[in-house]
Amino acid sequence: MSARRIRIGIDTGGTFTDVVALDEDSGELVTTKTPSTPGNPADGFIAGIEKILGIVGAAGGDITAVSHGTTVATNKLLEGKVEALGFITTEGYEFMLEIARQSVPDGYGNSYFWVKPDRIVPADRVRTVGGRLDFTGAEVRPFDEDQAVAAARWFRDQGITTIGVCLLHAYADDAHELRMRDILRREHPDAVVSISSEVLREYREYERSMTTLVDAAVKPNVSRYVTNISDRLHGFTGGEDIPFYVMKSNGGVLSADEVVHQPITTVLSGPAAGALGAALIAKVAGFPKILTCDGGGTSTDVSVVLDGEPTLTTEGTVGAYPSKIPMIDVVTVGAGGGSIAWLSPEGTLKVGPHSAGADPGPLCYAKGGTQPTITDAHVTLGRIPPHLLGGEIPLDVEAARAGIADLADRLGLDFERCATGILEISAWNQANALRQVSVKRGLDVRDFMLTTFGGSGSLLACRLVDILDLAGVVVPPNPGNVSAFGLLTVDVKNDYVQTHVAKESALDHAAVQSVLDDLTHRARAALAKEGFAPEDHRFQRTIDVRYVGQAFEVRVAAPEGAVDQAYVEQVAETFHTEHHQLYGYDFRGDRDQQVEWVNLRVTGIGPITRPEIPTLDKAAGDVLERAVRSRRPVCFDAEQGYVETPVVWRGDLGAGDTFVGPAIVEEFGSTIPVHPGFEVVVDDWANLVIRKESAR
């Protein structure tokens, strides 16, 4: 029998590991899920591959590549469990982390409470080294070798083996940092070291220091995890090497061998894959403006997609830690299927951010959970069936009912008001996250469709349309596997940046061209190392621009070609437009308000072949007669109580089918409650397009 060519995308979440396999010859896509193994995520990873290969009838030797979205770095930062970490900086700057940045927390209005993030490194683990560069990279004072040796030996003697190095103005010249790393390698060979000139070559010392320290903090965990997976894959295929890629936060992938040297680039690995998968699905279906809602077991991730491309930011944070790397603009809220409903000390109902996770999980999992969750509320109201994964995992509905009944008694509410209240709070938490990525960015949510996916992402879709007045909802087929599918759509990407601050009127065109050429050369070398032929290399330029006097920049797309006056004017025009979109005004035509360039960026892209999204055939006969498998009482509203509701099996739907709520649409990996007053249309690509009947 001839060999198969199977490409696999695998996304490890808190509750389930999602797997998608693409037959590169036939174009067939197959999906499945398997329980995650939090104790050792690699076990769930290999179990997922074994399961999908069994479904498609292939062997390990048939795998051509594996792309992986991981939460290892994300969870490390969200949990705040950063082990002993050391910091080396320039003499006189030992309190850089203490000075930090100040910000008023959301929700406090004109508060007098100013908040600084927690230090990632305690003050007693900071060491300084003499030597100084100015902002151009010129040496003001020579590097102090004796102090550098003393710092390295101190960390060695203290047993601190993870160290971040950020020396003043190293973005302009990395000579001092490279020398510091050489000394650490000699004096403290067991140390894992990150230097700022390799992690983030931008100015702003605090952000560069924090980003470097975050990179150092996650490097041991990411390295161990990726190495473990690589070894398991190697054994799984009988010793053959399989290309193994890891999803990056910027919307690209990178080979596992390179990711261990750039671990911070994976801090939003899983959410980025979901946003990209949803972006491609919505673009094919003809929706240029979408909000994505990726609901998992512990959290929900939301983002914005414009014309098929998720928006990027360099102002992201993960947990309490800012990370100034290019990442898809994702906001995460603790409102997943396992989010716990609890009473505050004041006696009010709260939902999340604490989660029952995959183990022990919600009460209905019958695995030792003791507190009611969002999933428990859904199953007791009839909105999800008494089982998961098409019957593979039975649910204990009575255990869920008992837990919510106890909570209702303590609140003095009847059962249905308590259960629907849990879901209402969850819906508003998700709606507020969606506002952060849309309304706060100057976007009108009424123009956007919501694309929901993930195991729990579609459960509150209709309610989110009501709260935000969205145009409607698009639910892809196999929504629980969209993140894994996204991993098969992702190009290899590497980002390179260099600070180059200059007013538009004083720009040295030749100097700018030289920096862009150098960044492009570095990107080209990285793509060649990844195995891409020169004719396949693609490059994107972006520039961070601001008005003189502003503290922060707007990133704008820059054209290809030589840098001349026309080039500069085109960048300025794009900036004025973007600034007006974000802030409602611009200074186009104002000669007194100059434009200033800050950072030059080049992204190197190695394109891959994306899977085709198959079309769906029409089906004969009445949709309700064909697709309704059963009926059950479902509570959509506590005031209305339970209504007898048809349960539609999604696999029996055909293109063009239309029906109205109330209805429950079920499939292997997810459930979509369609509330009364909503209409469902099945489009040509098997998406469920849900809108209010009044919007027809």
Angstrom distances, CA of residue 268 to CA of 208, 313, 324, 427, 608: 18, 12, 12, 23, 21
Name the one residue in this structure whose structure tokens are 């990209």. Answer: 276
Spell out the residues 6+ positions from residue 513 whose beta carbon is closer than 8 angstroms to its own: 562, 563
Contact 246, 254 (CB under 8 A): yes
CA pair distance 80, 119, nearest whole angstrom: 11
Q: What is the pLDDT of residues 117-161, one digit of tens each?
A: 667 888 899 999 999 999 888 999 999 999 999 999 999 999 999
What's the pTM? 0.82
Mean pLDDT of the 479-506 span? 90
Q: What is the pLDDT of residues 295-330, one digit of tens each?
A: 887 788 899 999 888 888 887 777 677 788 888 888
The predicted pLDDT at position 104 comes to 52
For the chain, which domains are there? Answer: 6-77+222-266 (3.30.420.40), 80-218 (3.40.1360), 269-490 (3.30.420.190), 492-606 (3.30.1490), 623-695 (no CATH)
Write the DSSP string, 554-599: EEEEE-SS--SHHHHHHHHHHHHHHHHHHHS---TT-TTS-EEEEE
Among 111-115, 163-167, 212-216, 513-517, name the one with the lowest average pLDDT: 111-115
Contact 597, 610 (CB under 8 A): no
Alpha-carbon 148 to chain mean position: 38
pLDDT at 43 over 90: no
pLDDT at 78 over 70: no
Contact 452, 430 (CB under 8 A): no
Per-residue burial over 370-380, b = 16 or more CB atoms within 10 Å of its CB, e = otherwise: ebbbbbbbbbb
CA pair distance 244, 9, nearest whole angstrom: 10
Alpha-carbon 113 to chain mean position: 30
Among 328-337, 455-464, 480-489, 594-603, name the one with the lowest average pLDDT: 328-337
